[in-house]
Amino acid sequence: MGGTGWLLRRLGYGVILLVGVVVLNFLLIRLAPGDPAEVIAGEMGGATEEVLAGIRASYGLDKPLLTQLGLYLANVAQGDLGMSYFFDRPVAELIGRRIGPTILLVLTAQALSVVIGVALGVIAARKPNGPLSAFVSVFAVIGYAVPVFWTGIMLIILFASVIPIFPVEGMADIRLRDAPWWEQALDVAHHLVLPAFTLAVIYLAQYARLSRASMLDVMGADYIRTARAKGASEGTVLFRHALRNAMLPILTVAGLQFGNLISGALLVETVFNWPGMGRLAFESILRRDYPTLLGVLFFASMMVVVANIVTDLSYRLADPRLRNAK
Amino acid sequence: MTSIPDAIAPEAGAAQAAAAAAESPAREAWRMFRRNVPALVGVGILAVILAATLYGALLYPGNPYEIVWAPHEPPGATAAFPLGTDYLGRDLVAGLLTGGGPTLAVGAAAAALTMAIGVSLGALAGYFGGWVDDLLMRLTEFFQVLPTLLFAMVLVTLFSPTLWTIAFAIGVVSWPQTARLTRAEFLKIRQLEYVTAARAIGARNGRIMWRVILPNAAPPLIVSATLTIGVAILFEAGLSFLGLGDPNTMSWGLMIGANREYVLDAWWPVTFPGLAIFLTVFAVSLIGDGLNDALNPKLRGR
């Protein structure tokens, strides 16, 4: 019932949130100290009077505020996020080139942290007072407290000089440019190991702690006793009955953490020179390239909106009771 | 903690007397906390770090900005510079002692702002419900869509990077979780009898919210405030690392960012400030976990 209707409503709400982000971007440009045209051109863009006049015309900066907002929204709706005056390229094109690596990094880190974290948590929950349980608890507090960029730098020191088995910089080896695609894919995967692990490790610890607690909760439930009583094997009890129910809080947290994961990716990309949106944001800050920076904010918010919708969808898949809810 | 308003004291008095016969909740919490070894370790670590930050410069005079020796002197090689020097030849111990101040101050100020915004909005939403709740929750959802660090970066870049703008930016991006938590507590508590009683004797909304409900919602909020300080410190460190800190102020994050290019020549200028950040946040979260165990006995063991 109503699955399509639900999805449409959910998508509509996502679009409204993104329009909100665009309005916020507009307000930020207006609220920043100084002439908005100069803000858009960027302090180090070497903006001439001609360029500034062009910006004033195309953004309608001499018109009333609401007209300006309307123009800005209309431009974004057509996929025009403005020009980066530093790179002399449309912002959308710059980000389009950088969004793939960020998605690859974030999704890999998310998958690593959920899969390894949940596995650790499930195993630890079987012996609530065992050594692995203690390890998971300590590891969770440590993982929470380590600055992610520092973990990355420590791994660089370790793998650049002590055990040089993983590349510590960039996303691909330029010498492999003409190699067959699978060799290039392997090369990217090889470069991905350290950044993805760095990003995953904080969340991995949290998922381990959470899934341990959640499993302990669920294992005391009546339906687990019923499953055992009817003679189900331990594996069936753990994975079919317990884990499926214990996954709900983990899904919630995984969805909520997505925004933080993108923030973390920003730092990790900077540390490892990973050519993604975070690295682009860092470069545009150094150059006071505001249109690019605001464009990255827009695209990153869009990734969070999409992730939230996917989370809600997987919720409905995991819990049949929700399928009939609004 | 605020006391229960005088007007309803007689009613609450009986319950209080019964509880006092056993033990007051605050005292019980303190007793629990005192026996929590990890939490006490956290208090110890934090006390040492605070003392070093506040008084370290008196015992170890040294200018963290001044070039005093050859660059990249390893730790232990020269007695005068126990932790060595950075890429410019500046004393790392002096840097660490000075760099903690801004990090801790920004962390505390940002956490205070986060709590102020989050608790106010969450309280209004949870107490009034209806369209107020709808409006405020939509606002919260909107802020949760913005990736926090990126949004803070934008704010700090557009407005000049002083310690206060950084604290402000961190506060503005971090409040939604606090708001949600406060709202949930207010929703739960506003249905309880003592709130109805306060309303029946004519207490105004403001008084009920801040004098009746808030003290009873305090335990989870105190825990959340502690954890918020940890997050804010990591945030400040991240911003400084990216070069968005106050450029005129030495901070732990700035030290890592400045020395990052040379890690393969010298590991120490990056390692020690990172350890300092880690230990601070670690101590704060041990204290937070300890408070959680002491104040929310029902959640114990999670």
Residue B8: what pLDDT?
Answer: 46
Cα gap B7→B291, rounded to integer Å: 31
Mean pLDDT of B206-213: 87
User: Cβ–Cβ of B256/A150 closer than 8 Å?
Assistant: yes
- Measure in Å the smallest separation between the Cα of A124 and chain B Cα atoms: 13
For the stretch A172-194, pLDDT in tens is 777 777 777 788 888 888 888 88
CB A268 within 8 A of CB A274: yes
Residues of chain A neighbouring B155 (CB-CB closer than 8 A): 28
Residues 223-262 of A with CB under 8 A from B: 256, 259-260, 262
CB B212 within 8 A of CB B22: no
User: Cβ–Cβ of B264/A156 closer than 8 Å?
Assistant: yes
Burial label for B9, CB within 10 Å (0-12, 13-18, 19+), is: exposed
- Measure in Å the smallest separation between the Cα of A9 and chain B Cα atoms: 15
Cα gap B155→B119, rounded to integer Å: 22
- Main-chain dihedrals φ then ψ at residue B81, nearest 5 degrees: -125, 80
Residues 36-65 of A with CB under 8 A from B: 39
Residue B136 neighbours by CB under 8 Å, 6+ apart:
B121, B122, B124, B125, B179, B183
Residues of chain B neighbouring A40 (CB-CB closer than 8 A): none
Cα gap B113→B115, rounded to integer Å: 5
pLDDT at B6 over 60: no
For the stretch A292-303, pLDDT in tens is 888 899 899 999
Residues of chain B neighbouring A106 (CB-CB closer than 8 A): none
Residue B134: what pLDDT?
Answer: 92
User: Cβ–Cβ of B150/A304 closer than 8 Å?
Assistant: no
pLDDT at B114 over 90: yes
Size of interface A-B (CB pairs under 8 A): 134
Q: How confident is the model at residue A312 (pLDDT cuts 50, 70, 90)?
A: confident
Secondary structure of chain B as H, E, C letters? CCCCCHHHHHHHHHHHHHHHHHCCHHHHHHHHHHCCHHHHHHHHHHHHHHHHHHHHHHHCCCCCCCECCCCCCCCCCCCCCCCCECCCCEEHHHHHHHHHHHHHHHHHHHHHHHHHHHHHHHHHHHHHCHHHHHHHHHHHHHHHHCCHHHHHHHHHHHCCCCHHHHHHHHHHHHCHHHHHHHHHHHHHHCCCHHHHHHHHCCCCHHHHHHHHHHHHHHHHHHHHHHHHHHHHHHHHHHHHHCCCCCCCCCCHHHHHHHHHHHCCCCCHHHHHHHHHHHHHHHHHHHHHHHHHHHHCHHHCCC
Residues 296-315 of A with CB under 8 A from B: 296-297, 300-301, 304-305, 308
Mean pLDDT of B123-129: 91
For A285, the closest of B153, B267, B284 (CB atoms) is B153
Q: What is the pTM of this model?
A: 0.85
CB A169 within 8 A of CB A274: no
Residue B61: what pLDDT?
Answer: 77
Residues of chain A neighbouring B281 (CB-CB closer than 8 A): 144-147
Q: How far is CA A220 from the centre of its chain?
A: 34
A interface test, pick of B41, B146, B298 with most A CB neighbours within 10 Å: B146
Residue A324: what pLDDT?
Answer: 64
Task: Give ∠ CA A266-A167-A263 in degrees, rounded to 5.
Answer: 10
Residue B1: what pLDDT?
Answer: 40
User: Cβ–Cβ of B158/A290 closer than 8 Å?
Assistant: yes
- Measure in Å the smallest separation between the Cα of A323 and chain B Cα atoms: 22
Residue B302: what pLDDT?
Answer: 42
Residue B298: what pLDDT?
Answer: 60
Residues of chain A neighbouring B264 (CB-CB closer than 8 A): 156-157, 160-161
Mean pLDDT of A246-268: 85
For A293, the closest of B144, B145, B157 (CB atoms) is B157
Residue labelled with tokens 């692995």 = A132
Mean pLDDT of B230-236: 90
Residue B10: what pLDDT?
Answer: 46
Q: How confident is the model at residue B4 (pLDDT cuts 50, 70, 90)?
A: very low
CB B74 within 8 A of CB B266: yes
Question: What average pLDDT does the structure give for chain A?
Answer: 83
pLDDT at A70 over 90: no
Residue A26: what pLDDT?
Answer: 83
Residue B133: what pLDDT?
Answer: 92
Secondary structure of chain A as H, E, C letters? CCHHHHHHHHHHHHHHHHHHHHHHHHHHHHHCCCCHHHHHHCCCCCCCHHHHHHHHHHCCCCCCHHHHHHHHHHHHHCCCCCEECCCCEEHHHHHHHHHHHHHHHHHHHHHHHHHHHHHHHHHHHHCCCCHHHHHHHHHHHHHHHCCHHHHHHHHHHHHHHHCCCCCCCCCCCHHHCCCCHHHHHHHHHHHHHHHHHHHHHHHHHHHHHHHHHHHHHHHCCHHHHHHHHCCCCHHHHHHHHHHHHHHHHHHHHHHHHHHHHHHHHHHHHHHHCCCCHHHHHHHHHHCCCHHHHHHHHHHHHHHHHHHHHHHHHHHHHHCHHHHHCC
Residues of chain A neighbouring B260 (CB-CB closer than 8 A): 153, 271
Per CB distance under 8 Å, which residues of B are interface residues toward A?
141-142, 144-151, 153-155, 157-160, 230, 234, 237-238, 241-244, 253, 256, 260, 263-264, 267, 270-271, 274, 277-278, 281-282, 284-286, 289, 302
CA dihedral (B294, B299, B301, B302) positive or negative: negative
For A147, the closest of B146, B159, B274 (CB atoms) is B274
